[in-house]
Amino acid sequence: MVSYNMKEPIIEIKELYKSYDGLQVLQGVELRVEKGETITILGGSGTGKSLLLRLITGLERPDRGEIHINGKDIVSLKEHELLPMRRKMGMLFQGAALFDSLSAGENVAYPIKEHFHLSEGEIEKIVREKLRLVGLEGIEDMMPAELSGGMKKRVALARAIAVDPEIILYDEPTTGLDPANTRRIRHLIIELQKVLKVTSIVVTHDIESAYAVTDRLALLHRGIIVMVGTKEEFVSSELQEVKDFVAGEVIKGAEEEGR
């Protein structure tokens, strides 16, 4: 843990509170994300993991607290002031969130056109390169409706990395995918980490994927981060919430395997 604190944090969350539909979801979340690391935020459904990601991107505003990105508090920023920060972020949405009316290639080109003034040829080149990174060369002209669930996620991932972000946010990247695609997405997260040297935050309830892709994990439970630590620290933790979550997930995982 000490070694992590030596590095500068790219994201620092302090005393974050957020209620949703009259329910106090986040109750003082504290989290430091170091530059270049991959961290997974674990937690059961409805604990506010995805909400936390939405707060980091500025899609939602907290009731109270601070979110520093590269040292700058984004909480009080207006929508257009968030632009420079969003240029450095890519997000993979749970349901891929590809634009149905645009082809796969146009989807990947969307953030590039939004942030840079490049010629069509240059954009095409970037799009081809990003699609190649996720293993989907030559599908530029296909429409999202023609793609399988796993392919959609990969196109969405290509779109998320299109503007070479410093931070990639993954919202439940493996949810709803079959085992083969789950492995593929896990593999891609690790690969992209190596190739792009980005900071990644993965939100998931799938502890197997979490173990596979990251070395640091954080458990969100009843509105706070109860533990941050490495895989080993998680497995050997004596904390009741962590033991419960790990046990529960392992049992659920075993059931799913047996099915």
Which lies closer to another protein via its Cβ, residue 102 or residue 196? 102
Q: Is 89 in the site for another protein (CB under 8 A)?
A: yes
What is the rounded distance in angstroms from the CA atom of residue 33 to the CA atom of residue 199? 8
β-strands 9-20, 224-230 pairing = unpaired
Is there binding between residue 14 and another protein (CB under 8 A)?
A: no
Determine the residue type at 93: F
10 binds another protein (CB under 8 A): no
Q: Binding to another protein by residue 99, rule CB under 8 A?
A: yes
State whether the Cα torsion 135-42-177-55 is positive or negative: negative
52, 84, 59, 65: which is closest to 171 by C-alpha? Answer: 52
Minimum CB distance to another protein, residue 48 (Å): 16
Site for another protein in 152-181 (CB under 8 A): 159
Looking up tokens 């789950």, which residue turns up?
182
Binding another protein (rule: CB under 8 A), the pick from 2, 6, 22, 100 is: 100
Beta strand extents in 164-221 (DSSP E only): 167-171, 199-204, 216-221
Task: Pick one of 77, 97, 118, 142: the residue that binds another protein (CB under 8 A).
Answer: 97
List 18, 54, 205, 216, residue binding another protein (CB under 8 A): 54
Tokens read off for 120: 């069509």
Q: To the nearest whole angstrom, how small is the minimum distance from the Cβ of residue 159 to another protein?
A: 8
The whole-angstrom separation of Cα 227 and Cα 184 is 28
Q: Measured between alpha carbons, how far is 222 from 110 in angstroms, rounded to an integer?
A: 37
CB of 4 to another protein, least distance (A): 27
Q: Is 23 in the site for another protein (CB under 8 A)?
A: no
CB of 83 to another protein, least distance (A): 5
CB of 86 to another protein, least distance (A): 5
The Cα–Cα gap between 116 and 114 comes to 6
- Cβ 84 to another protein shortest distance, Å: 9
Binding range to another protein, per CB under 8 A, among 33-41, 70-78, 95-103, 121-129:
95-103
Phi, psi values for residue 228, rounded to 5° = -125, 130
Bridge partners, 164 (sequence order): none
Binding site for another protein (CB under 8 A): 54, 57-59, 79, 83, 86-87, 89, 91, 93-95, 97-100, 110-111, 114-115, 159
